[in-house]
């Protein structure tokens, strides 16, 4: 996971290995693997009351544009909804329009610009998605 993070983010904004240990212990982490147990991507988020958040969504550069990010995001949304989240927020770098477009297609909407979120001069957009009622999410039975 640390290796994929370093492919997705510059050294000054990538999570250090110790942060991953903390996040895996206290957050919701979902990993996408191939049959050979190679990690293709992962998403980490958390829930607090009726709001959830995405910490990071990383897909190995060699496996992008195959729907992995979309599936990871949907899986996390389902998990957070089951934990009580009714809305989810995330931040995306303004320097990564492909990530912003992925989130827009998934139903996230821009709310505000967060200046210097990724360091001096590296801004982010904060996006939110209101979740559907749990029983209407794909793959979740209402019974």
| CATH number of the domain encompassing residue 36 | 3.40.630.30
- Is the residue at 142 inside a domain? no
Mean pLDDT of 112-123: 94
116 pLDDT higher than 80: yes
117-60-125 Cα angle (round to 5): 25
Per-residue pLDDT, 139? 58
Distance (Å, whole) CA 64 – CA 76: 18
- Supply the mean pLDDT for the chain: 85
Stretch 63-81: mean pLDDT, rounded? 92
Does a structural domain hold residue 143? no
Q: Is the pLDDT of residue 11 over 90?
A: no
Domain presence at residue 29: yes
Count of domains forming the chain: 1
Quote the pLDDT of residue 112: 97
72, HSE (Cβ side, Cα atoms, 13 Å): 28
Instruction: Examine the pLDDT at 135 and tell me if it is beyond 70.
Output: no
Helix (H, G, I), strand (E, B) or coil at 96: coil
Residue 61 lies in domain: 2-136
Considering the domain boundaries, does residue 43 fall inside one? yes
- Is the separation of the CB atoms in 23 and 39 below 8 Å? no
* Residue 63 domain-assigned (yes or no): yes
Is residue 6 pLDDT above 50, yes or no? yes
The pLDDT, as a whole number, for residue 142 is: 46
């Amino acid at each position: 996971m640390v290796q994929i993070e370093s492919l997705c983010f510059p050294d000054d904004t990538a999570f250090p290995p110790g942060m991953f240990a903390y996040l895996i212990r206290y957050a919701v982490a979902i990993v996408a693997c191939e049959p050979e147990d190679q990690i293709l991507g992962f998403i980490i988020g958390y829930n607090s009351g009726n709001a959830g958040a995405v910490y990071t969504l990383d897909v190995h550069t060699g496996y992008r544009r195959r729907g992995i990010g979309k599936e990871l995001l949907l899986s996390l949304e389902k998990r957070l909804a089951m934990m009580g989240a009714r809305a989810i927020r995330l931040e995306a770098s303004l320097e990564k329009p492909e990530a912003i477009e992925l989130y827009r297609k998934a139903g996230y909407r821009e709310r505000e610009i967060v200046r210097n979120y990724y360091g001096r001069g590296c801004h982010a957009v904060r996006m939110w998605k209101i979740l559907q009622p749990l029983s209407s999410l794909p793959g979740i039975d209402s019974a």
